[in-house]
Every structure is written in C-alpha cells, then in structure tokens.
C-alpha cells in the first residue's frame, strides 16, 4: 500500500533511534560543568535496547538465520525482550522472552501485550523481587538454551553478539557526536551486556581518543574494577551480572565507578522532580556516576550519559514510592 506522505514510516521499527540529548541544567547548577542525557525511552519500546533488537534481527535475516514464520528465543531483563517483541510482531516471528522472576512485573506485562511468550525462571536461593543476581542470570541462560534447541529457534544472544555493540557504534555514538558537535569530554554508562557502553565508546574514541569513557557498575558487584563481590544482589536491573561481558573492551574504558542502590534511586527521583525526566534505576545510576565524573574534570567540561529506559516500567518497585 502506498503511504500518504514522505514523513510516514512504513512500520514502528523504522522509528527506533534518533533520540534527544538533553542538558541537565538544574542538577548541574553551580558546578561549572554540564551533564547531557540521551533519552532512549523515546524509542517505541521505551529503551535503548530497541536499537540492538532491530540490528540483531535484521542481520540474522541477511545471514539466513531467520526465515518467515521462524522463532526467536532470548534471555532478557525485559528491555531487550520488549525491543525484540516489537520487531518480531512487525516481521511475523514467534518470540519467547526468558527472564528472571526478579525483574519488574511491568516488563512482563508489556512483553505479553506485544504477543511475546514470557518464560519466567525462579531465582537462585528463592525469590527477591526487584533484585537479579549473576546466579539468577545463569539459570535464565540455561533455560533459554534449552528452549532454543527444542524449537530450533534463533538466539540473538545479546551478551555475545557483536551486532549489539555495532548498533551503538553506528547509531547512538554517531548521534551523540553530531548532537554535541563533537564538544564533549566524557562518556559514562552502566554496563550490563556492555553493548551501549562499548559501542558508544568505540565511536567517540575513533573521532577523538582523548574522550574519557567511564563505566558504571553496582557498588557491590564490580568486576570491571577488579574488586571482589560483596553482594551479588542489587536493584540496578540490567547491569552488574558479576562478569566481564565478552563485548566489553578494556582498551576503550578509562575508569569504572561504583554506584549504590540508594544513590541510583535518589538520583532517579531528583531527575524526575527537577528535570522532568522519569528514568529507571540504571538511568539514576548513570546520572549519579556522570555527576561524579564531571566533578573531577576541568570547569566547562561536558559529560554525556544515557537514560536507558523509562521509570514507568518500575512503578511496582520502590523506585518512585
């Protein structure tokens, strides 16, 4: 069917990306530094993971790993699954999202609304709603592999798939460079699969190697900093799985900052109350870490971070109580 005008997208998949970059002027007031936040909840699945979902599926189609009517199985804390569910709905694939019971109920409901089949995996050592550990992730991975083999399904495998980081190197990082006119001094982001952090770092350092790239990780789970784990459970969902992800490249990481649950929560609340930006736990963690990095830079410096998803996915948690 012919579309009514040049501004009409053929599907919602084509609207992924091109998200705004916003100055956090109120949180930075009086510091002589500026933190800019890339609002990834503007994508249709309301998270940064929409970008990798589109890229991984499109590359799988090109390589003959996915054919019409095929199935996709993926482990997810929710956001990658939501992105994949959107792409699968448009492309006509069956999608099974395998996730820990510890992830927020909002994500489960969004996945089901998009036609995904949600497979919940009990947590190691018993239920801890809102807290997902590295041990939980092992169980989720095991179940996803079983299902993929049973169904002969395509597994995007976001932790291992280089298309994850490539999506950010070719889109997110380029957008940040163009939106700032190349005038930035540091990039800060939490590390889960490491795709966002690594892809953007690669794009920025290719353009100016002196840009400082700092990873954020939960204060009790800091493998990137080489610090022993003190508590594998934390509330910063989608990060801190007590492993150095295969996509993480130490050559592109200048430092790593630890963020407590409380710092992440309080900063997310400040971000909403003072900037009108309702982000999730990792958004609060990213902004808190970015503010710390900014304080160590020269006056006039600019730090860029990302709000990975919307806080509306966490209303059942204590984030905005």
Tens-digit pLDDT profile for residues 146-164: 999 999 999 999 999 999 9
Q: What does the pLDDT read at residue 130?
A: 60
Report residue 307: phi and psi, to 5°: -100, 100
| DSSP single-letter state for residue 309 | B
pLDDT, one tens digit per residue, over 8-30 is 999 999 999 999 999 999 999 99
Element spanning 175, H or E: helix 173-180
282 is catalytic: yes
Q: Which two tokens mark 40? A: 């990834």
Residue 127, pLDDT > 70, answer no
Distance set, CA 49 to CA 65, 71, 192, 260, 269 (Å): 21, 19, 11, 23, 23
Set 205, 282, 301, 313: catalytic member: 282
Residue 231, pLDDT > 80, answer yes
Lowest-pLDDT range, 129-133, 244-248, 293-297?
Answer: 129-133
Provide the strand spans (E) within the chain.
Answer: 21-23, 34-39, 71-75, 94-100, 117-121, 186-190, 212-218, 255-259, 302-307
pLDDT, one tens digit per residue, over 238-251 is 888 888 999 999 99
- Rounded to two decimals, what is the model's pTM? 0.92
Per the CB < 8 A criterion, the answer to whether 103 and 113 are in contact is: no
Query: What whole-number distance in Å separates Cα of residue 143 and Cα of residue 262?
Result: 32
CA 102 to chain centre: 17
Stretch 53-59: mean pLDDT, rounded? 98
Q: What does the pLDDT read at residue 308?
A: 97
pLDDT band at 89; cut points 50, 70, 90: very high
Query: What whole-number distance in Å separates Cα of residue 42 and Cα of residue 312?
Result: 13
133 is catalytic: no
Sketch out the chain's domains with CATH numbers.
12-42+165-314 (3.40.50.1100), 49-151 (3.40.50.1100)
* 83 CB-contact burial (10 Å; exposed 0-12 / middle 13-18 / buried 19+): buried
Stretch 129-154: mean pLDDT, rounded? 86
Set 49, 77, 301, 313: catalytic member: 49
């Amino acid at each position: 069917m012919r579309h009514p005008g040049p501004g009409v997208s053929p599907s919602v998949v084509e609207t992924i990306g091109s998200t705004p970059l916003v100055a956090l002027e109120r949180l930075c007031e009086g510091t002589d530094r500026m933190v800019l936040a890339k609002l990834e909840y503007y994508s249709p699945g309301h998270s940064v993971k929409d970008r990798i979902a589109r890229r991984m599926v499109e590359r799988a189609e090109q390589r003959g790993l996915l054919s019409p009517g095929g199935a996709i199985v993926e482990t997810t804390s929710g956001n990658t699954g939501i992105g994949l569910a959107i792409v699968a709905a448009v492309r006509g694939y069956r999608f099974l999202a395998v996730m820990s019971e510890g992830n927020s109920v909002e994500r489960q409901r969004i996945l089901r609304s998009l036609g995904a089949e949600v497979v919940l995996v009990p947590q190691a050592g018993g239920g801890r709603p809102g807290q997902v550990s590295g041990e939980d992730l092992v169980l989720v991975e095991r179940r996803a592999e079983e299902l993929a083999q049973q169904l002969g399904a395509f597994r995007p495998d976001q932790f291992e798939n280089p298309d994850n980081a490539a999506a950010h190197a070719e889109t997110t990082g380029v957008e940040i460079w163009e939106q700032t006119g190349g005038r930035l001094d540091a990039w800060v982001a939490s590390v889960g699969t490491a795709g966002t952090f690594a892809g953007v770092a690669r794009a920025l350092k290719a353009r100016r190697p002196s840009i400082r790239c700092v990873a954020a990780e939960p204060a009790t789970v800091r493998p990137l900093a080489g610090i022993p784990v003190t508590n594998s459970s934390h509330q910063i969902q989608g990060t801190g799985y007590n492993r150095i992800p295969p996509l993480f490249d130490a050559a592109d990481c200048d430092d790593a900052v630890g963020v407590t649950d409380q710092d992440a929560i309080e900063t997310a609340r400040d971000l909403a109350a003072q900037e009108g930006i309702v982000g999730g736990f990792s958004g609060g963690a990213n902004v808190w870490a970015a503010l710390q990095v900014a304080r160590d830079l020269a006056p006039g410096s600019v730090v860029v971070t990302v709000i990975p998803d919307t806080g509306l996915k966490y209303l059942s948690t204590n984030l905005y109580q």
